[in-house]
Chains A and B, each alone.
Chain A
Amino acid sequence: MDRRLGPLLQIPWPTATLTNTLAQLPDDCSLVIVYPKDSEECDFVRCAIGYLSWPRKIGEVRLALGENSRPVVSEHTAFLFCGLPLPNVPNAQRTQIGPNVVLLSAP
């Protein structure tokens, strides 16, 4: 997994890093992955995060170029932005996992 995810996320130990970061979320916290439409690499990243984030429920939002999202972060919902600029979300804790991956969760 590391050999596939490493180049995509540009972080040295992606499996361990993601597992440790996601472990901070409670088990009943859903994770919504936000990533660009029509990106095969991000498709794999989404599946890999789904693989690593068990037992949390996962959701996905695919954004076309120029589209914006308005994530509503709560105790029960966190957002993971992959390969997209981060919108301004007040009252959310930002965890930078890699240059292209940011986790938004409840503080």
Chain B
Amino acid sequence: MIALLDLFVATATLAIGGCGVVSLLSQRRLSWWEHCALAWFFGTSLVSLSLWIGGLFLRGTALQCTVTGICVLIGVIGLRRLRASGSKQREASGTRFEFVLVMLFAVELIAMFWASFQDTLGWDGLVVWEIKARYAFLNGGVIPSAFFSDASRSFANPHYPLLLPLTETWFYLWLGDSNQFWIKLIFPIWCGAAMSILLVAGEELSGERIVGWVVALLFPLAPCLHNKPGGFQVGYADAPLGAMYVAAGFYLLRFIRDGSRDAMVLFITLAALLPWMKPEGIVLWSTISLCGAVALRIKGRPWASVAASFLPGLTLIVLWQIFLACVHESSAKDFVFPTFGILSRNIHRVGGILDHTIRELTALRHWGIFWLLVGLAMCGIVVPWRRPRAAVLMWLFLVPFVCYCASYLVSALDYVWHMDTSLRRHFVQLVPTAWLLVALAIARRKPTEEQN
């Protein structure tokens, strides 16, 4: 019972801070679904960044109190600003059918919690992510600097960023124990956040709320997302990364549609946080930022604004690299720098990569018919070519997809083994975005669509 209370306090402080950040970034009130999802994304980012930066100066109770203070302070400032703005919340229709769908949403989420508690944390969930949370917890909320330079623990990938481990640390600090059972509670929340964003994004893209509900409710049903390594239940960073990526992509699409300042700030901030989740986040951040830069320019923003849109993400990436250099992190990297020589030497891998990719996409026990659906959706979008949102969505999906597959050309490991262990998880990151392709494809075409 005490553990549940501790978990509630940890979640509440994190959510208050996250709500505050949402209110500070967005002048207009968002829908309840968006607000909850964003509060979780920004709350986890705020807590992990505060623990990381605060941990350079403080530790133990002082650090925990400081981070709590930051969350509460930002929450209060955000709430005041929200009240002062006086704008109304975007509300759903509230029909009986909508109520049934909300119930279905809740049932799926509860099932995800159940699946999480049935399963153990996966291999990487334990020895790549949770290990850092445990060491930080044992060291007063700060990962010992000796850990980063300990070559004998390179299996834990010390160079991976800390959003997930320090969020876990936050829960451990409140629990007073590094408890691998209770920590599984946080992963289904990422799933709920992704579903919420898909609901809103699906509705906005298609113009029909039911399409939003269809993609949101079907999203967690692909086997890979709930009972295979890489899903929400095993404590990996891939599914949460996918959830944040689809949110960033959605606000980019909203910015392209209405050019609002809120959507611009949200897509830039969310994209900037992607490299803080996992190294692959840099690929996703680059994909969104490049597309965002083009959109900003087309909307008539000055070049300075376009350049400034890269700054938050770039700052975070550079700060993390400086930190790693300061703590003498030197673990062997999985990829080598792509030079012409290396690419020509490894060109023979192309066949193997294609073969492996096709086998993965068609593995029904991993994905069901999900990728078939996505393939059909892409054909449905390309044939009547709905610009520009379709083009943007295709970009957001295809660029990382191709980059992930091509990355095995420069893998420093046995590339077949490397693909066996990581390709599926890379695809998990793109699942929410792929669902938006499906939403766009099943939307009824309207006369205005061609110009939109």
Chain B residues whose C-beta falls within 8 Å of the C-beta of A50 in the assembled complex: 127, 152-153, 155-156
B387 shortest CB reach to chain A, Å:
49
A44 and B120 CA atoms in complex are apart in Å by: 14
Chain A residues whose C-beta falls within 8 Å of the C-beta of B123 in the assembled complex: 4, 44, 47
B416 shortest CB reach to chain A, Å:
15
* Residues of B in contact with A, size category: 10 to 19
Contact A55 B146 (CB under 8 A): yes
Contact of B131 with A by CB under 8 A: yes
A1 and B125 CA atoms in complex are apart in Å by: 10
Contact of A70 with B by CB under 8 A: no
Contact B144 A55 (CB under 8 A): yes
A27-85, CB < 8 A from B? 44, 46-48, 50-51, 54-55, 57-59
A36 and B169 CA atoms in complex are apart in Å by: 34
Contact A54 B135 (CB under 8 A): yes
Contact of B150 with A by CB under 8 A: yes
A87 shortest CB reach to chain B, Å:
23
How many A-B contacts at CB < 8 Å in the complex? 39
Contact A51 B120 (CB under 8 A): no
In the complex, what residue of chain A is closest to B147 when comparing beta carbons? Answer: A54
B95 shortest CB reach to chain A, Å:
44
Contact B152 A59 (CB under 8 A): yes
Chain A residues whose C-beta falls within 8 Å of the C-beta of B147 in the assembled complex: 54
A59 and B123 CA atoms in complex are apart in Å by: 20
Chain B residues whose C-beta falls within 8 Å of the C-beta of A55 in the assembled complex: 144, 146
A46 and B156 CA atoms in complex are apart in Å by: 12
Chain B CB within 10 A, most for which of A46, A54, A59: A54
In the complex, what residue of chain B is closest to A3 when comparing beta carbons? Answer: B120
Contact A4 B120 (CB under 8 A): yes
Contact B153 A1 (CB under 8 A): no
Chain A residues whose C-beta falls within 8 Å of the C-beta of B180 in the assembled complex: 1
Contact B134 A51 (CB under 8 A): yes
Chain A residues proximal to chain B, CB less than 8 Å: 1, 3-4, 44, 46-48, 50-51, 54-55, 57-59
Please give 10 more A-B residue pairs, beta carbons under 8 A apart, in addition to A44-B123, A44-B127: A1-B120, A47-B155, A48-B126, A48-B127, A50-B127, A50-B153, A54-B147, A55-B144, A55-B146, A59-B152
